[in-house]
Amino acid sequence: MKKTHSIPLIFLGLGNIGGTLLRQILETRETVAERAGLRLIPVAVADVSGLLYAADGLPEATLHAALAATQGGGTLAALPDLHPLAYLPTVLQPGAILADLTASPKTTPTLRAALDAGCSVALANKIPLAGPWAEARPFLSHPRLRYEVTVGAGLPVIETLHYLRDTGDRVTAIEGCVSGTLGYLCAELERGVLYSQAVAQARARGYTEPDPRDDLSGKDVARKALILARTAGWPLEEGDLTVEPLYTAALAGLAVADFMAATTALDADYAARVAAAQAAGRVLRYVARVTPEGGTVGLTAVERDGALGALRGPANYIAVHTTRYDALPLALAGPGAGREVTAAGVLGDIIKLAHTGQTA
């Protein structure tokens, strides 16, 4: 029988991705033990309200109570034996793996402390990797940090870029569609749905953040583009990217309800852009493109029959141009969103980090 190694896990955030990851770990414990030789043991779960901790592993009843409490946007606040967040540094220990499953800009000091304490880190949070280069560089180059799901959800985009560079290839350009939300919006516009209706539908279905401008601004795509560029070896900054938001400056400062009501003012403009693209045999897609010199993020008319034009719904497509993959790029395509595939990608990073720790 394969020997199993116990790996303590620390969760930062138990929202959509964190909750799904915890459920996957509980459901796949025996499979992971048998196939990977690992016993993944959640010892700490933290959110903005505090920290649950048990050195030998949180009881399963406590974990299920935490999942129930945080479902639908709740917090751990009402659970018994909750420690203040200030207790978190005492939980960090060599050999543990911390998973940042938040979308918070405030976790960076904790990530640094975890790595300094000998922990490994699995990131779903893009923000620490997309800030100023001087602050992001130590994370991007750290051997005990993985961040596969920050671009393309479960697609092996980051691992592919590392493979290309490790084998001596040189990346020259990366382009693609990396937002499931904006992919849905473009597909609806192509179908003839008005911009205001498409945005309202996307929000009603939970495809956007509560304020759709968080998606429509293009900032999330820009972060992904920066992560791709930096992984390719280009130390680009946010200012090196030109980003096109999918709303006008006049709508930027409105309350959410007012913004939703005002989107009808953009219907004619976007309908005209769709018609112009169609007249040229093209369709609109929200495309990110980066090179060593910089990049662009915005709405682009692409060939209807091309790889980007064929995308539907939340699918992502990323093409990597290199000195070896020159005439025809290396391409990855598949679901670019979804709790299950994203959480599974984090679980894959955890398993790889655990194995690296055993052989380090």
Catalytic residues, by residue number, are 224
Query: Which residues face 299 on adjacent strands?
Result: 286
| Beta pairing class for 120-123 and 38-47 | unpaired
CA distance 280 to 141: 44
Phi and psi, residue 22, nearest 5°: -60, -40
Task: Fill in the amino acid letter for 127.
Answer: I
Long-range Cβ contacts of 340-344 (<8 Å, 24+ apart): 340/20, 340/24, 341/153, 341/154, 342/17, 342/20, 342/124, 342/149, 342/153, 342/154, 343/17, 343/20, 343/21, 343/24, 344/24, 344/154
Q: And the tokens for 40?
A: 């993944």
Q: What are the DSSP calls for 150-189, one per residue? A: GTTTTS-HHHHHHHHHHTT--EEEEEEE--HHHHHHHHHH
Q: What value, to the nearest 5°, has the Cα angle with vertex 265 and ends 259 and 268?
A: 140
CA distance 280 to 278: 5
Q: How many CA atoms lie within 13 A of 305 on its CB side?
A: 2
Q: And the tokens for 269?
A: 């403009």
Q: And the tokens for 360?
A: 């380090």
Phi and psi based region of residue 51 (left: phi greater than 0; alpha: psi -120 to 50; beta: remaining): beta
Q: What are the DSSP calls for 286-337, one per residue? A: EEEEEETTEEEEEEEEEETTSTTTT--TTEEEEEEEESSS-SS-EEEEEE--
Helix (H, G, I), strand (E, B) or coil at 197: helix
